[in-house]
Amino acid sequence: MQCGIPIMASTDGMAKGHGQRYEPASKGLQAAVQQWSIDKYLHFIRKVFDKVRSRFGTEEKLLHDVHDRLTPIEAARLGRAVEDYHLFWMKDPSPAENQACFRLIRQHTVTPIAIGEIFNNIWDCKQLIEEQLIDFIRTTITHAGGIGSMCRIADFAALYQVRTGSHGARDLSPICMAAALHFDLWVPNFGIQEYMGYSEVMLEIFPRQ
C-alpha cells in the first residue's frame, strides 16, 4: 500500500503517471528524492491506513515500503502509529548497515518489519535475525549468493521464527523469479514472494511455455 503525499509533486515507490507501472530501476535522480518531507509523510500516512481499513476491513493484508527514509526513532514512531491497522509488514523502515539500530525500533513497536532486499550474504542479516529484530528476511537469489546461500539464510532464520519475503522487483530477471519460486516451494519458513510483473519486451526475451 503506497500513495502520494499531498503538496509533494511525486513520491518514490509510485508510478510516474496514470495507468503506468511503478519502475524501481528508472534512470536518473528522481524528483521525489529532492522534495521528500519526513514530517509530511509521517503526518499523512497514518490517515491513509485508517481510510484503507475503514473501507476494506481487516481481512486484507497491508504491506508498506518506507524506502529506508527514516531514522530508527522515526521508524519506531511510524510503527507504533500504525499498530492498530495490523500491517503484514513495514518494509525497509531504516537503513540496516548498523543492524543494532533496529533494537530501538523493536523496543517501541510490534509492527512486523521486513528488510534485506540488497543484502549479499548471511552476515548482512545475522544480527537482525539472531536478535529477532525483524520478522521477514528479503534477500534474493541473485543478490545473496545463489540458491545455496539463500537456503543457508532461510535455515538460520527459521531458528528464530523469521520468515522469507524475497524481493521480486521488475529489475530482477524472469530467470531469477523462476529460481526464487523453486526456492519458495522448498523453504519451510516461507512468508511471501514479491512479484511486480514484467514488460512485454522482457517477456519476449524470456518466452514462457
Mean pLDDT of 53-71: 94
pLDDT at 199: 85
Give residue for cell 514479491: 194
Mean pLDDT of 162-181: 92
CB atoms near residue 89 (< 10 Å):
24
For the entire predicted model, the pTM comes to 0.87
Mean pLDDT of 49-57: 95
169, with CB counted inside 10 A (0-12, 13-18, 19+), is middle
Mean pLDDT of 199-209: 83
- Could you report the per-residue pLDDT of 119-138, keeping only the tens digit for each? 999 999 999 999 999 999 99
3-state SS record for 84-106: HHCCCEEECCCCCCCHHHHHHHH
Note the CATH architecture for domain 117-209.
Alpha-Beta Barrel (3.20)
Name the least confident of 46-55, 97-106, 196-205. 196-205
Higher pLDDT among residues 47 and 30, named by residue:
47
Mean pLDDT of 55-61: 93
Domain positions in the chain are 38-115, 117-209
Whether residue 72 is predicted with pLDDT greater than 90 in this model: the reply is: yes
